[in-house]
């Protein structure tokens, strides 16, 4: 078993940086079919999260992929599976789940995911045959990749969904599509950022986090950090509310 906190070996293929995680899968045959599809397109790291049937390692549909099944990580929840991933993408079909995370079609996201895998680890999550990924699972994802199925028959078989995604990831890159710069629409105003910095600073002061001797440089660091986050105007409002509440609590307690 590899030590997961070690840096990825240079000789490892970018494909080994992808974990395909099947969440609450019900059918060992589907798990076997998923393993085979992974192997067909050169992927090897499979994780099973809370599968309904632990007999998956014997799945007969995994022709040529017995190694993938034997080495599959079995986990009770997502935490262990996602621990060393710096990107988590959930898969969905056109079934019409409300998107809560930045979404994209599979084709649009694949090249970006591939670029990520050339440097760092990522996980691609597939939900159960019956229910797909829950909102709880999707909340762990930075991206949702939608497989563009027909609205009249949106629900893909699990093994086929894995095949399509692995194919799309492994396919020769279309002439180096450059990621468009992210639009900054909807970002917090400078005034909002400023208020957040001040509130956070006051809170950290009260908590004894700020060293008076280096206050000036710490303030700058905090401001840069807040700018880097590129917080949206809505999120900024929420975060301000949180900071206000914590500050109020601290203040009330210290005054007792």
Site for a second copy in 14-73 (CB under 8 A): 33, 36-37, 39-42, 61, 63-65
How many Cβ atoms from other residues are within 10 Å of residue 210's Cβ? Answer: 17
Q: To the nearest whole angstrom, how small is the minimum distance from the Cβ of residue 20 to a second copy?
A: 14
Among 16, 74, 204, 240, binds a second copy (CB under 8 A): 204
In this structure, are residues 60 and 29 in contact, taking their beta carbons and an 8 Å threshold?
yes
Q: Give the count of residues interacting with a second copy (CB under 8 A).
A: 113
Instruction: Please state the closest distance from residue 55 (CB atom) to a second copy, in A.
Output: 19
**Nearer Cβ to a second copy, position 48 or 109?**
109
Q: Give the nearest distance from C-beta 140 to a second copy in angstroms.
A: 7
Among 14, 13, 12, 69, smallest CA distance to 37 is for 69
- Nearest distance, CB of residue 9 and a second copy, angstroms: 18
Q: How far apart are the first and last CA of the chain?
A: 54
User: Distance between CA 208 and CA 75 in Å, rounded?
Assistant: 40
Closer CB to a second copy, residue 25 or residue 93? 93
- Kindly state the smallest distance separating residue 82's Cβ from a second copy, in Å: 4
Angstrom distance (rounded) from CA 3 to CA 230 = 34
Distance CA 142, CA 136 (A): 13
* Helical spans, DSSP H, in 84-232: 106-117, 135-138, 158-170, 190-206, 215-228
| The token pair that represents 200 in the structure block | 């956070």
CB 139 within 8 A of CB 99: no
Residues 152-191 close enough to bind a second copy by CB under 8 A: 152-157, 159-160, 163-164, 167-168, 170-172, 174, 177-191
Complex with a second copy: residue 55 or 63, whichever CB lies closer: 63
CB of 4 to a second copy, least distance (A): 10
CA distance 23 to 122: 15
Shortest gap between Cβ of 103 and a second copy (angstroms)? 7
Contacts of a second copy in 66-125 (CB under 8 A)? 78-79, 82-88, 93, 100-109, 111-112, 115-116, 119-120, 123
253 touches a second copy (CB under 8 A): yes
Contacts of 64 by beta carbon, 8 Å cutoff, 6+ apart: 36, 39, 40
Among 47, 48, 147, 169, indicate the residue that binds a second copy (CB under 8 A): 147
Query: CA dist 165 to 10, 41, 230, Å?
Result: 25, 10, 30
């Amino acid at each position: 078993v590899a030590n997961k906190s070690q840096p990825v070996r240079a000789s490892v293929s970018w494909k080994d940086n992808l974990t395909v995680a099947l969440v609450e899968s019900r059918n060992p045959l589907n798990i076997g079919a998923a393993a085979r599809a992974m192997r067909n397109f050169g992927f090897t790291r499979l994780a099973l999260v809370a599968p309904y049937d632990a007999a998956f390692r014997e799945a007969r549909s995994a022709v040529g992929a017995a190694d993938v099944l034997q080495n599959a990580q079995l986990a009770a929840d997502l935490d262990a599976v996602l621990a060393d991933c710096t990107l988590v993408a959930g898969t969905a079909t056109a079934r019409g789940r409300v998107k809560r995370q930045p979404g994209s079609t599979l084709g649009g996201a694949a090249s970006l995911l591939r670029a990520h895998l050339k440097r760092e680890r990522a996980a691609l999550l597939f939900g159960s045959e019956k229910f797909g990924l829950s909102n709880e699972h999707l909340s762990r994802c930075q991206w949702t990749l939608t497989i563009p199925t027909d609205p009249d028959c949106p629900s893909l078989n699990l093994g086929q969904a894995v095949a399509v995604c692995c194919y799309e990831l492994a396919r020769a890159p279309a002439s180096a599509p450059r990621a468009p710069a992210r639009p900054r629409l909807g970002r917090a105003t400078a005034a909002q950022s400023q208020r957040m910095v001040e509130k956070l600073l006051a809170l950290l002061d009260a908590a004894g986090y700020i060293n008076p001797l280096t206050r000036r440089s710490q303030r700058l660091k905090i401001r840069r950090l807040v700018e880097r986050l590129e917080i949206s105007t809505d999120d900024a409002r929420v975060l301000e509310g949180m900071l206000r509440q914590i500050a109020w609590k601290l203040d009330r307690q210290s005054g007792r």
